[in-house]
Chains A and B, each alone.
Chain A
C-alpha cells in the first residue's frame, strides 16, 4: 500500500475505541488503491494493526465485496435472488457467461470484465437487476444486458 493510504488508515485509528475496529474501512482504502487486497496487503495491514495476517484474511474473506485477487476493470454482478430468478436472472447469467466466454466469478482474459452473481440488491420491483461498477441496471432483458456489457471499455 502507498504511504498515502497508510496515512489515511492511521488517521482512522482515533475514531474507534479499539484499533481493530478500523479494519474494515482500512481494507476499503487498500482496495480503492489497488483494486484488491492480496496476501501481501493483508500482511501489511496486520502489521499496521498489530494483528496476525490470518485475522485480516478472515475478515477479508468474510465479505463478498472485498477481493483477494486482481479483478477486471469492470464489475458485472447479476442478482440471482428469488424475485430476480423468477424473472429470468439465472438464464440471463448463463447467457452472459457464454457471451463473455467465462464462468461466473471469473474475469475475461483481457482483464475487461469480472462477472459474478449477487444476492438481493433491494430492487426486486425492477427485477431482474444487475450492478455494473456500482450502478444498477434494471428491468433487464438479454439484449440489453449484452449491450451494457459490450459497451464497457
Chain B
C-alpha cells in the first residue's frame, strides 16, 4: 500500500486513489486533514473545477488539486504552507466576486461551506466594488427545489448528480466564462424521485428544498441518527429536530446502504409520523386508561390459556427487532405458534427504493416469523401489531388486541386498543433487505401516553401472570437477550452496533 505524508504525518492509503479520496477513505477529510473543497464529492465523478483543494506536492513545481492528483508511493503533501493559503484566499476571493453576500436572508447560513471556508480560508474583506453580475433569484426548478442563481458557485455537483445518480440530466452549466450560469435544459423541470439530494450536496445556499426552506434556522436544530422506515432499503438518515418536532430528514452516509442519498418519498416521510395517530387506549371500543387496557389484555391472554383457547400473534414489519423479539417470547411462553406478518409492497427502482414498503420484514423473518396474509381463522385471542393484515382476515378473532400507531379502521373493530410509539419515539433496530441490522434512536417525546410494542407486550405478559415476566422493560436488555438467543444475531445488539449497522451472520 502506498504511503502518503501530509503535513508531516504518514498515512497508508489504498492503491489508485486521488489525494482527496485517499483521505476520505481514512475518514479524515475535514476532520483531521483539512483540505477544503467544493466541487469534489465522494459519490460523484471528479470535476476539478473549483480549485479550492490545491495543495503543495513535493517535487511538483506548481500547486496541484488534491481531488485529481493520484497518490504515488511516498508522496509528500503540504497543506500548511503560505503558498497554499494564498491560493485558497485567491480562490475564495474569486468565488465571492459575484456572490450577493446575503447570508442574513439565506437559508443555508449556518451550514454553508462558502460561509465556513470564507471564515477559515478567505480574506476578511472584499477588494472589489463592481456590481455583481445579474442572475435570477428564487427560480422555481420543479416540484421540490428552488434555485438562487446569484449564490451558485458553479461547482457542478448538482449537474453531475442529475447525470450520474438518477441519470435524468436536467441541469447544466450553460454559456462560457463570466456568462456561465446553472440552468435547466430548456423546457424541462428538475423532477425525479431523488431530486432533493441536490439541496444537500449544493455547498452553498443556491439550491434549497421547498419543504424545508425558511422553516427554521439550522442552528436551532439537532440531528438524531435514524433509519428511514418507508422501504426495506433502510436508508440511513439524520432527523433534524427542534422543540419536539422533526423539520427534515437528511441522508446520513452509509456506503453499504445508501451512499449519501435518500429518495424524495423517504425524505418527506417525516410528515407521516404524526398523521392520524392512535392516541386513546380503548377497551370494548370505549376510551379508558392505559393501565386498564393493559390489564384487560393480560386478562384476555390469561383466560384463553386457562380455557385452552388458542392465541395467535400477528407481527408487523414496521416495528423494531426488539419489539418483535418480545412478541416471540410472549408467544412461546403461552405455547402459541410463531407469529405471521404481512408486508405491503410497491414499486422499486435500481437505485435505492425496494419493493417491500416496510423497514423490518427481514427482521421478522430472521426472528422466525412467517410472511403470510392468510387469516388465522377462529381464535380466542389475537395479539396484532399494526394493520398490515387485511381486516377481513381477523373476522374470526374473539378478542382482538391491537397495538398500533395509527387510528386505522382495525382500531374501530378491535376489542382492546393500545397506542404504540412510532419508531421516532423509541429506540431500537431494523434489519434491512440485505440483513443489515441498523439502529434508530428516539427523536421525539410522545405527546400522549404511548409505549413501544415491546414494552406493551412485556406488560401484557406480566399482567397475564406468565412465569418470570415482570412489567419492567429495558430495550437494551431485550436487545442483549435477542442477540444471545436468535441465530444470526450473535454479538449484534443495540450496544454493539455502530452508526453503520452490521449484517446478520
Q: Which residues in A have some Cβ–Cβ distance to B below 8 Å?
A: 39, 42, 52-55, 57-58, 61-63, 68
Give every chain B residue within 8 A of A62 (Cβ-Cβ): 174-176
Give every chain B residue within 8 A of A68 (Cβ-Cβ): 186
Number of interface residues of B (CB under 8 A): 13
Q: Are B163 and A54 in contact (CB under 8 A)?
A: yes
Q: Are B163 and A61 in contact (CB under 8 A)?
A: no
- In the complex, the chain A residue whose C-beta lies closest to that of B167 is A52
- In the complex, the chain B residue whose C-beta lies closest to that of A51 is B169
Interface 0/1 of B157-174, CB less than 8 Å to A: 001000100000111111
Q: B187 touches which one: A39, A52, A55 (CB < 8 A)? A: A39
Q: Are B172 and A54 in contact (CB under 8 A)?
A: yes
Q: Is B448 located at the chain interface by the 8 A CB criterion?
A: no
- In the complex, the chain B residue whose C-beta lies closest to that of A64 is B176
Q: Are A57 and B163 in contact (CB under 8 A)?
A: no
A73 vs B185: C-alpha distance when bound (angstroms): 27
| A57-B172 contact in complex given A39-B185, A39-B186, C-beta closer than 8 Å | yes
- In the complex, the chain B residue whose C-beta lies closest to that of A38 is B186
Q: Are A57 and B175 in contact (CB under 8 A)?
A: no
Q: Which residues in B have some Cβ–Cβ distance to A below 8 Å?
A: 159, 163, 169-176, 185-187
**Besides A39-B187, A54-B163, A62-B175, 13 other A-B contacts (C-beta < 8 A):** A52-B163, A54-B159, A55-B169, A57-B172, A57-B174, A57-B185, A57-B186, A58-B172, A58-B174, A61-B176, A62-B176, A63-B176, A68-B186
A42 vs B174: C-alpha distance when bound (angstroms): 13
A39 vs B175: C-alpha distance when bound (angstroms): 15
A120 to B: closest C-beta gap in Å: 15
A58 vs B159: C-alpha distance when bound (angstroms): 11
Q: Are B169 and A52 in contact (CB under 8 A)?
A: yes
Q: Are A53 and B169 in contact (CB under 8 A)?
A: yes
Give every chain B residue within 8 A of A54 (Cβ-Cβ): 159, 163, 169-172, 185
A147 to B: closest C-beta gap in Å: 33
B177 to A: closest C-beta gap in Å: 9
B161 to A: closest C-beta gap in Å: 12
B52 to A: closest C-beta gap in Å: 22
A62 vs B163: C-alpha distance when bound (angstroms): 19
A53 vs B187: C-alpha distance when bound (angstroms): 11
A68 vs B172: C-alpha distance when bound (angstroms): 15
Give every chain B residue within 8 A of A39 (Cβ-Cβ): 185-187
A75 to B: closest C-beta gap in Å: 19
A85 vs B34: C-alpha distance when bound (angstroms): 48
A57 vs B183: C-alpha distance when bound (angstroms): 10
Q: B173 touches which one: A42, A52, A53, A58 (CB < 8 A)? A: A58
Give every chain A residue within 8 A of B186 (Cβ-Cβ): 39, 57, 68
B192 to A: closest C-beta gap in Å: 13
- In the complex, the chain A residue whose C-beta lies closest to that of B188 is A53
A36 vs B159: C-alpha distance when bound (angstroms): 25
A50 to B: closest C-beta gap in Å: 12
B169 to A: closest C-beta gap in Å: 4
Q: A61 touches which one: B159, B171, B174, B187 (CB < 8 A)? A: B174
Give every chain B residue within 8 A of A42 (Cβ-Cβ): 185
Give every chain B residue within 8 A of A61 (Cβ-Cβ): 174-176
A39 vs B186: C-alpha distance when bound (angstroms): 6
A39 vs B170: C-alpha distance when bound (angstroms): 13
Give every chain A residue within 8 A of B170 (Cβ-Cβ): 54
Q: Are B175 and A53 in contact (CB under 8 A)?
A: no
- In the complex, the chain A residue whose C-beta lies closest to that of B179 is A61
5 contacting pairs across A/B (C-beta < 8 A): A39-B186, A53-B185, A54-B159, A57-B186, A62-B175
- In the complex, the chain B residue whose C-beta lies closest to that of A52 is B169
A149 to B: closest C-beta gap in Å: 26
A140 to B: closest C-beta gap in Å: 27
A61 vs B172: C-alpha distance when bound (angstroms): 10
Q: Which of B159, B186, B187 has most chain A Cβ within 10 Å?
A: B186
A42 vs B176: C-alpha distance when bound (angstroms): 18
A81 to B: closest C-beta gap in Å: 15
A70 to B: closest C-beta gap in Å: 14
A42 vs B172: C-alpha distance when bound (angstroms): 13
* Smallest CB-CB A-B distances: 10 pairs: A52-B169, A54-B172, A61-B174, A39-B186, A62-B176, A58-B172, A61-B175, A54-B185, A54-B169, A53-B185
- In the complex, the chain B residue whose C-beta lies closest to that of A61 is B174
B407 to A: closest C-beta gap in Å: 46
B110 to A: closest C-beta gap in Å: 32
Give every chain B residue within 8 A of A52 (Cβ-Cβ): 163, 169
A90 vs B471: C-alpha distance when bound (angstroms): 88
A69 to B: closest C-beta gap in Å: 10
Give every chain A residue within 8 A of B185 (Cβ-Cβ): 39, 42, 53-54, 57
Q: Which of A53, A54, A58 has most chain B Cβ within 10 Å?
A: A54
A59 to B: closest C-beta gap in Å: 10
A54 vs B190: C-alpha distance when bound (angstroms): 13
- In the complex, the chain B residue whose C-beta lies closest to that of A43 is B185
A103 to B: closest C-beta gap in Å: 15
B226 to A: closest C-beta gap in Å: 35
Give every chain A residue within 8 A of B187 (Cβ-Cβ): 39
Give every chain A residue within 8 A of B176 (Cβ-Cβ): 61-63
- In the complex, the chain A residue whose C-beta lies closest to that of B176 is A62
A53 vs B174: C-alpha distance when bound (angstroms): 12
Give every chain B residue within 8 A of A53 (Cβ-Cβ): 169, 185
Q: Which of B170, B173, B185, B187 has most chain A Cβ within 10 Å?
A: B185
A57 vs B172: C-alpha distance when bound (angstroms): 8
Give every chain A residue within 8 A of B173 (Cβ-Cβ): 58
- In the complex, the chain A residue whose C-beta lies closest to that of B177 is A62
